[in-house]
Chain A
Amino acid sequence: MAPSLADPPPPPAHVRAAQIASRDAGVACSLLPVGTLIELRDLARYYQMGDERIAALDGVSFAIEAGEMVAIVGSSGSGKSTLLNILGCLDTPSRGEYRLAGNDVQDLSDDDRARVRNRQIGFVFQSFQLLHRATAQRNVALPLVYRDVPARERNRRASEALARVGLAHRQGHKPFQLSGGQRQRVAIARALVTEPTLLLCDEPTGNLDSETGKEVIDFFRELNAKDGVTLVIVTHERRVSSVAKRVIAMRDGMLVETTDEALAAAHGSGPA
């Protein structure tokens, strides 16, 4: 049975603390994120294949609080990537509602969705998606090109983001001069350079060895704990989902209960 919006999971301790501090201080905002960041109601995504209609997502409803770290698990074809695409405004639902930070997203124009992606969302992909002939710094600065940020400021912010992922000494290197782990860290720096409220990761450790994968996971955990960045990670790997504060399991386009058995079934034979 899919979890309902009426019964969202309690926010993490630090978010609650921030909410209380904010309330007591009587200020309108706080340093840490508060409230519901993502709300989905009866979301569906259909694809037409000839005469047949395929439901990649079918009646998905849940909410994610700001500052949460959520893993979405499920076997291949369960609809988790489709869900991530919709959460990232890369795709639009065929039915249902999607509210991001209190705003309806499904009715936005294509240009507005591009602006939402640029200002509020960071993406980390399994295959890094770096520009091969551009340096690490240029790759990281790329999202700022679509804002009115001067070149010098772009480079400064890109250098800062690279320093944040421990690659200050590699900013002049091109992707082919970097290891897999370093490439993924460049991709993470690119996702962070716009200071997004939501970080969406699609199998971020899928192309990494276990040691490098662990480093990336530790970085995510630290990012979530220290900076309060909301993370939604699509993964096959239990070691990734195990560090999430909440796990959403999917099967055949629908949410399933997140019992240990269901999770084991959702992970299938993925690495522990």
Chain B
Amino acid sequence: MMPAGNLARMVVANTLRSRRHFVLSAFGIVIGIATFVVFLASTEQVASVLEKIFPVEQVQVVAPRASLLGKDISKKLDDGIVQKIRARPEVDRADPTAVVPRMGLAFPAMGRGDFEGNDLKFEVGGFADGINPDYVSDDDRTRELFKDWDGMTSDPRRVACAPPPPDPQEEIIQSPPAPKGSHSQPGVYYNPCPQPDRYYCDDVDRTCHHRVPIVMSPTMIELYNGQFARSHGLPIAELDFVKFITSRGGLSAMRFSIGLGLTTIAGSNSALARKKHRVEGVLVGISSKAMPIGMTIPIQYVERWNREFLGDDAATSYSSIIVRLKDRNQIAVFSQWLQDDLDLRLEDSLGEKFATALFVIRLVLILISLVIITISAINIAHNFFMQVTERRRELGLLRAIGATQSDVLLVVLGEAALIGLIGGLLGVALGWAIAAGIDAGSARYLPRFPYKPASWFHFKWWIVLGGLACSTGFSVLGGYLPARRASRMEPAQALTQN
């Protein structure tokens, strides 16, 4: 067999020599691969957006709602249920965050905060829940700040302090830090705690407490950007939280006061209003583990507050349990067990439905691309058959001067592979250009909406490599039969052809 270097040089020389043949053969591959990478990159991007909205790798266990004479008699989700679920074979027992209970704030609460010069009041009761802090560890900042600060006994900043004066209007105004120098205004209450950005003085035990850490879901940011920011003339928030927060002066800009037992809805739950309790919170991060519409805090806070306002039963009853299964295919088995043994059910997962729909769409798009590539492979086969016939005498000559059958086979297959590779590269470049054009059009003409991506395409390395492998593979496949015919040509007959 001829040396590999000589084979490569001959393949390149032959390909450069027949440019018309190259263009005719590569055209289909370029189109096929361009559609292939564009389709895959777009579905990949859609999938990543969907995963932001609906984390699809997990299921949520809930108790079916039941009531008798207006009284809620739904099954209680407690630690016993959590242990039973954790013991299931479908659940990865080695992962401590595979089973994570959530506890909703079960009484009214309202929030108040200053945002970009706007005094915002919002309902927190029903829009807040608690979760195990270990489960929320999206970035270093969240890992550092999202924990049960009140449960820590060794915090040196838990010092005694004078709380703000009683607030008969229930305005739950935040305590501002004392201004530097001697600019303090007489009669104004200033936060007396060390690090006033992070600590506030609690009304009940009159000591400094770390602000309650809060995480929000990307959905909240998208809703803010898509609806709220526009209608209120506020700036668009970047999802890159660190950038977002540092550009607005750090933690102090994202503080809230929360009035536990208070509500923005007039006349509701007046019985609880007697037990009001003001706490201060701070937004520490954006997490897909947070409840989609609302705020999420460490579960220990919710347990304490539910116990304080509603008693032990509310502090041991979970609103749902998030379960990550080993394999998504085991959802059906797990769901059946829940229903049969525990009388519980899985919450309908829109994410699951979207993921399935996306899978089908992606499959269809890949099939369309493969059909185009297959047609181009047939086109390559046709062109190579023509070329082998045209080059019959040349191939006969090569055989006469010492080329073996495998030499001829490899030369023709090498030409096909080179056409496939170059066609693939051009196809990827074309796909990228099409994507850039669509993105430019989208940025210019499509109005902003929740989750509108900066780019509609995500060209992952495996998409590009897959495209190139596909183009080369299909091209070689198309060139195989002509190459085989060329290699089996009788040299004596080939040389005498007119």
Which A residues have a C-beta under 8 Å from some C-beta of B?
Answer: 81, 85, 88, 90-91, 110-111, 114-115, 117-119, 123, 125, 129, 131, 133, 142-143, 145-148, 151, 190, 194
B401, A110: Cβ atoms closer than 8 Å: no
Assuming A111-B406, A145-B6, A146-B407, is B491 touching A129 (CB within 8 A)?
A: no
B405, A110: Cβ atoms closer than 8 Å: yes
By secondary structure, the B interface counts as helix
A129, B397: Cβ atoms closer than 8 Å: yes
> Which chain A residue shows the least CB distance to B407?
A146
A118, B492: Cβ atoms closer than 8 Å: no
A129, B495: Cβ atoms closer than 8 Å: yes
> Contacts of B397 on A, CB cut-off 8 Å?
129, 131
B17, A146: Cβ atoms closer than 8 Å: no
In the complex, number of A-B residue pairs with CB atoms less than 8 Å apart: 61
A90, B402: Cβ atoms closer than 8 Å: no
> Which chain A residue shows the least CB distance to B16?
A133
| Shortest distance between the CB of A218 and any CB in chain B (Å) | 25
| Shortest distance between the CB of A140 and any CB in chain B (Å) | 11
Assuming A131-B394, A145-B10, A146-B2, is B404 touching A110 (CB within 8 A)?
A: yes
CB of B365 within 8 Å of the partner chain: no
> What bracket does the count of chain B residues touching chain A fall in?
20 to 34
B400, A123: Cβ atoms closer than 8 Å: yes
> Contacts of B393 on A, CB cut-off 8 Å?
129
19 A-B pairs whose Cβ atoms sit less than 8 Å apart in the complex:
A88-B400, A90-B490, A90-B495, A110-B404, A111-B404, A111-B405, A114-B405, A114-B407, A115-B402, A115-B404, A117-B400, A117-B401, A123-B400, A123-B401, A129-B393, A142-B401, A145-B10, A146-B6, A146-B407
> Contacts of B398 on A, CB cut-off 8 Å?
142
Q: Which of A91, A123, A133, A148 contacts B17 (CB 8 A)?
A: A133
> Contacts of A111 on B, CB cut-off 8 Å?
404-406
Assuming A90-B491, A146-B407, is B17 touching A190 (CB within 8 A)?
A: no
B402, A118: Cβ atoms closer than 8 Å: yes
Assuming A90-B491, A133-B17, is B402 touching A117 (CB within 8 A)?
A: yes
B496, A143: Cβ atoms closer than 8 Å: no
CB of B178 within 8 Å of the partner chain: no
A91, B2: Cβ atoms closer than 8 Å: no
- Which of A90, A114, A117, A190 has the most chain B CB within a 10 Å cutoff? A114
> Contacts of B407 on A, CB cut-off 8 Å?
114, 146
| Shortest distance between the CB of B305 and any CB in chain A (Å) | 82
CB of B403 within 8 Å of the partner chain: yes
Could you tell me the distance between the alpha carbons of A151 and B6 in the complex, rounded to whole angstroms?
A: 8
CB of B289 within 8 Å of the partner chain: no
Assuming A131-B394, A133-B17, is B401 touching A143 (CB within 8 A)?
A: yes
B394, A114: Cβ atoms closer than 8 Å: no
> Contacts of A110 on B, CB cut-off 8 Å?
404-405
A125, B495: Cβ atoms closer than 8 Å: yes
CB of B187 within 8 Å of the partner chain: no
| Shortest distance between the CB of B89 and any CB in chain A (Å) | 59
Could you tell me the distance between the alpha carbons of A131 and B391 in the complex, rounded to whole angstroms?
A: 10
- Which of A85, A145, A147, A148 has the most chain B CB within a 10 Å cutoff? A145
What 7 new A-B contacts, CB under 8 Å, besides A115-B404, A119-B402, A143-B401?
Answer: A88-B400, A90-B491, A114-B405, A117-B399, A123-B401, A129-B393, A146-B2
A118, B490: Cβ atoms closer than 8 Å: no
Task: Indicate with 1 or 0, residue by residue over B394-419, a CB within 8 angstroms of chain A CB atoms.
Answer: 10111111111111000000000000
B492, A85: Cβ atoms closer than 8 Å: yes
Could you tell me the distance between the alpha carbons of A151 and B402 in the complex, rounded to whole angstroms?
A: 17
B402, A148: Cβ atoms closer than 8 Å: no
CB of B3 within 8 Å of the partner chain: yes
B400, A91: Cβ atoms closer than 8 Å: no
Could you tell me the distance between the alpha carbons of A194 and B400 in the complex, rounded to whole angstroms?
A: 13
